[in-house]
Structure 1
Amino acid sequence: MIARLRWPLGFLIAAVSIYLFYEYLLSTLDSGTQAWVNQWFPMISINEALIWAMCALGLNIVVGYAGLLDLGFVAFWAIGGYAAGWLMSTFFQQNVHFFGSVPAGVRGIHLNFTVVLVAGAALCALFGVLIGAPTLRLRSDYLALVTLGFGEIIPQVFTNGENIGGFNLSNGSKGIVPIDPIKIGGEPLGPFDLTQKFAIFAALTALVLFISLRLRTGRLGRAWLAIREDELAASAMGVPLMRTKLAAYAVGALAGGLGGVAFATHVNGVLPDRFNFSISITLLAMVVLGGMGNVWGVLTGALVLAWFNSTGLARGGEAFNETFGTQINFPANNYLIFGVALVLMMLFKREGFLPESRTRLLLKEVRDG
């Protein structure tokens, strides 16, 4: 029992400690320490890392649990983001308000953030089923190609959605800006209320973690693992392949929808050029490098890689250049560094940082055999 609670308690303690440190303790430290913390670990980067973690955990359900290679997960991130844009802005002409964060006289649809989270998650779950249905008979590379196609189609629909039969779906390349601020109970959060947003995003990440862990040990989770190990044998043992696969797509997309809504409020808008193919690849790398099938490994991989992409590479590059007197533009070479790291991981630690026990034993047998 204590061993099972070790990681959840660690996540809770880390989240509470980070909140208390940035909200109360950081301002009491000397200016040099404050500058170092804000340079290397800015709260805005931590918040963004949590959003990446939500989506990576959703992809882990599809790839890590059910073994369905999905290269188009960015589509659900985009749908969740646009759900927030439609329901928390002045984009539409209707005047609909439901416990929103703007005055009642402002036109548009302005729903409460929690309602938009539910709506975005439900919409993405529906699209997860619709997108997953045509792929049920496909496996391996063919499945990856079809999901890649959907991942390219959805952002293009939003990019060219300014006039679809006379209806403005997405405002085209201009996107939907701004988004209503988050309001849960008290006053709306401003752009600098980053620690309060951290608490909300950490709670959403904890929710996705809870869903992943509970499903993993339940009947549905065992069915996913059976399909991942041997689809034909699972079918022969009575596992309903169609329902089980669609459930994986739906639950994974649900997590992507939560991440999309959170991302829209994080950047105060949705723009179609933010949802490109590289996001799907980065999410897949987070799952593989962290430890496919292990939620805590995926969480660790997502947080580390998200911080590295947003802050760590740039700051580490500056420190390297200052130390050795070079002028290397490390952020411009991020994909090169990322690719080398992936190759090295696949050569020397294929199971990831924190692999699932089943995967660790299987790869150990392969190496020993």
Structure 2
Amino acid sequence: MLARWRWPLGFLLAAVAVYVCYEYLLPMADPAVQGWVNRWFPLISLNEALVWAMCALGLNIVVGYAGLLDLGFVAFWAIGGYAAGWLMSTFFLQQNVHFFGSVAAGVRGIHLNFTVVLVAGAALCALFGVIIGAPTLRLRSDYLALVTLGFGEIIPQVFTNGEDIGGFNLSNGNKGIVPIDPIKIGGAPLGPFDLTQKFAIFCVLTGLVLFISLRLRTGRLGRAWLAIREDELAASAMGVPLMRTKLAAYAVSAVAGGLGGVAFATHVNGVLPDRFNFSISITLLAMVVLGGMGNVWGVLVGALVLAWFNSTGLARGGEAFNDTFGTDINFPANTYLIFGVALVLMMLFKREGFLPESRTRLVLKETRDG
């Protein structure tokens, strides 16, 4: 029983510890300690890492549970982000809709409460998950990957060129939708520097996606996904409805992408189409594979580590390396080179990931021994 709750309690305790540290302990600490923590672990970077973690956990449902290769997950991230842009801003100036929003009643536009927008973004992404999945899930393997890649390229392009679609402004084109209403849950709206409060909210959202993933994994639907992953033909022979089960994987996965998109929009205070490029899908897939495909906790660790490394760790580590050895190497400019070398080394020496699923570990061990 204790082993079952080990990881959930660890996540909860870590989240509470980080919140208490930044909210109460760090302001009273020595300035040198404050400088070191803010330099290596800025809270804005941790918040963004949680957004990446939400989306990586969603992608793990499709890739890790159902065994379907998806290279277009960025589409759901973008749809969730634009849902926040439409429902939490002055973008639709001709409207004046307010529902427990965080701005004054006289401000035009659509201003819904953050929790309502989360539900709306998740529902919209689930719908698009079914729409995208319905015509494509009859394909398998590389063909499915190519089609999802195509959708991942189409959706951001629609938003990039969506300033005039038959006279209707869908996305404001390259200018994007800026700013987004601040988050308001209960009390006063959060300001741009209320990073600890955003951290708590993003931890709750990540915990929600974790809970959904874990519950589905042990349920009937999760077992059907695993059966499809192991042998689709055998699963069909045993009575698993393939299309319906695959569509469920895409829909649930898209919900996590929608939550991450809404959170990301409030994190960066806007929605810009150039933030939703193909590299996001690849990075998310790397988080799933390196963390431990199929293992929720491995994916969480992989997402947090890689997101922190991309945003802060590489730059700070590069500066420390240059100071130590007197070099002048621009490490952030070589992000993809270093990332690629790390991927090659991981695939050579630990291809099951940081925290692999038990079955994946056994299969890969048998492959190596055999």
The C-alpha deviation readout for 1:199-234, integer Å capped at 9, x for no partner, is: 000000000000000000000000000000000110
Distance (Å, rounded) in 1 between the aligned partners of 2:91 and 2:136 = 34
Distance (Å, rounded) in 1 between the aligned partners of 2:161 and 2:137 = 29
Unaligned 5+ segments in structure 1 are none
Off by >3 Å, runs of 4+ in structure 1: none
Aligned to 1:55: 55
Distance (Å, rounded) in 2 between the aligned partners of 1:197 and 1:219 = 34
Distance (Å, rounded) in 2 between the aligned partners of 1:289 and 1:366 = 18
> Offset of 1:365 from its aligned partner?
1.0
> Offset of 1:275 from its aligned partner?
0.2
Distance (Å, rounded) in 2 between the aligned partners of 1:250 and 1:295 = 18
The C-alpha deviation readout for 1:175-217, integer Å capped at 9, x for no partner, is: 0000000000000000110000000000000000000000000
* Number of equivalent positions: 369
> Offset of 1:74 from its aligned partner?
0.2
Distance (Å, rounded) in 2 between the aligned partners of 1:136 and 1:5 = 35
The C-alpha deviation readout for 1:8-67, integer Å capped at 9, x for no partner, is: 000000000000000000011111010000000000000000000000000000000000
- SS of the equivalent of 1:213 reads helix
The C-alpha deviation readout for 1:271-328, integer Å capped at 9, x for no partner, is: 0000000000000000000000000000000000000000000000000001001010
> Offset of 1:135 from its aligned partner?
1.3
Distance (Å, rounded) in 2 between the aligned partners of 1:138 and 1:82 = 29
> Offset of 1:368 from its aligned partner?
1.4
- SS of the equivalent of 2:169 reads coil
The C-alpha deviation readout for 1:68-93, integer Å capped at 9, x for no partner, is: 00000000000000000000000002
- SS of the equivalent of 1:110 reads strand
> Offset of 1:136 from its aligned partner?
1.7
Distance (Å, rounded) in 1 between the aligned partners of 2:259 and 2:358 = 28
- SS of the equivalent of 2:3 reads helix
The C-alpha deviation readout for 1:229-286, integer Å capped at 9, x for no partner, is: 0001100000000100000000000000000000000000000000000000000000
TM-score (norm 2): 0.99
The C-alpha deviation readout for 1:338-367, integer Å capped at 9, x for no partner, is: 000001111111100000001001111111
Distance (Å, rounded) in 1 between the aligned partners of 2:294 and 2:57 = 9
- SS of the equivalent of 1:3 reads coil
Distance (Å, rounded) in 1 between the aligned partners of 2:136 and 2:363 = 27
- SS of the equivalent of 1:310 reads helix
Aligned to 2:40: 40
Distance (Å, rounded) in 2 between the aligned partners of 1:326 and 1:188 = 46
Moved more, 127-136 or 169-178: 127-136
Aligned to 1:164: 165
> Offset of 1:134 from its aligned partner?
1.3
- SS of the equivalent of 1:96 reads strand
> Offset of 1:150 from its aligned partner?
0.1
Distance (Å, rounded) in 2 between the aligned partners of 1:367 and 1:275 = 38
> Offset of 1:110 from its aligned partner?
0.1
Identity of aligned pairs, percent?
91
